[in-house]
């Protein structure tokens, strides 16, 4: 009887112990879940705070950049459409100026395929080069701050210089062709000495004739 009673007491003690252990395990699981939820919630809050800080810094940077650009251009309410229209108008004026300085003879001379940028005459041992001059002293910072009228005047002056240089080179090439033709006629012993004066009088009135006559003469 004592043994049975002892066994019952021991069984009761074990059951009580197991229940307490189960309760502790459940409490631990509950505490772990709560702790994990708290960490996740804390992480979400930290992410929100960081994103808000980044957004605020970005907006502040954009505002400062806009203010800096506005001060740089001297106008906080820049009308870009008007700027584009002004640039387009300036481009049209420059195109018109360029067309007004175009020499018609250039296209007609080069269409025959007999004139190049660089010439080398083998007959008399002379060497002459004609290269279109391009202004190398353009100060782009200065052009950037020029007014519309100043830009038009500047490019008009440069085009006038280029046209003058071109006409000078054409005259030099024409004189070279005259020399070649005269030497050629002397070598062939031409029997028409007065024909030269008539042809050259016509050529002096029309520069295109210089190149045509010289080209046909050399090809012969």
Number of domains in the chain: 2
88 lies in a domain? no
63 lies in a domain? yes
| Same-domain status, 107 and 195 | yes
- Please list the alpha-helical segments (H only) found in the chain: 2-73, 80-100, 104-110, 140-144, 148-188, 195-205, 207-219
pTM for this model (two decimals): 0.29
84 lies in a domain? no
Helix (H, G, I), strand (E, B) or coil at 11: helix
* pLDDT one digit per residue (tens) for the chain, 220 residues: 677 777 778 788 888 888 888 887 887 778 788 888 888 888 888 888 888 888 888 888 888 888 777 776 655 455 666 767 777 777 777 777 766 665 444 444 444 434 333 444 444 444 444 444 444 445 566 666 777 777 778 888 888 888 888 888 888 888 888 888 888 888 877 544 444 444 445 444 454 544 444 444 444 4
Point out the domain boundary residue: 61, 78, 95: 78
97 lies in a domain? no
92 lies in a domain? no
At which residue do the structure tokens 């502790």 appear?
24
90 lies in a domain? no
| Same-domain status, 202 and 107 | yes
Q: Domain range for residue 193?
A: 103-219
94 lies in a domain? no
């Amino acid at each position: 009887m004592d043994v049975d009673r002892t066994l019952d007491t021991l069984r009761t003690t074990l059951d009580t112990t197991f229940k307490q252990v189960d309760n502790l395990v459940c409490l631990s699981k509950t505490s772990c879940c709560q702790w994990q939820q708290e960490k996740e919630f804390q992480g979400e809050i930290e992410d929100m705070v960081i994103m808000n800080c980044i957004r605020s810094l970005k907006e502040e940077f954009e505002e400062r950049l806009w203010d800096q650009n506005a001060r740089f251009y001297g106008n906080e309410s820049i009308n870009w459409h008007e700027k584009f229209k002004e640039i387009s108008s300036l481009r049209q004026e420059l195109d018109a100026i360029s067309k007004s300085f175009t020499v018609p003879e250039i296209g007609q001379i080069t269409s025959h395929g007999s004139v190049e940028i660089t010439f080398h005459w083998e007959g008399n041992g002379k060497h002459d080069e004609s290269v279109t001059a391009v202004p190398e002293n353009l100060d782009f910072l200065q052009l950037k701050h020029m007014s519309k009228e100043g830009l038009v005047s500047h490019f008009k002056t440069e085009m006038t210089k280029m046209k003058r240089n071109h006409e000078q080179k054409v005259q030099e090439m024409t004189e070279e062709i005259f020399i070649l033709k005269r030497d050629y006629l002397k070598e062939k012993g031409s029997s028409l000495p007065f024909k030269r004066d008539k042809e050259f009088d016509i050529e002096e009135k029309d520069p295109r004739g210089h190149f045509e006559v010289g080209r046909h003469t050399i090809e012969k």
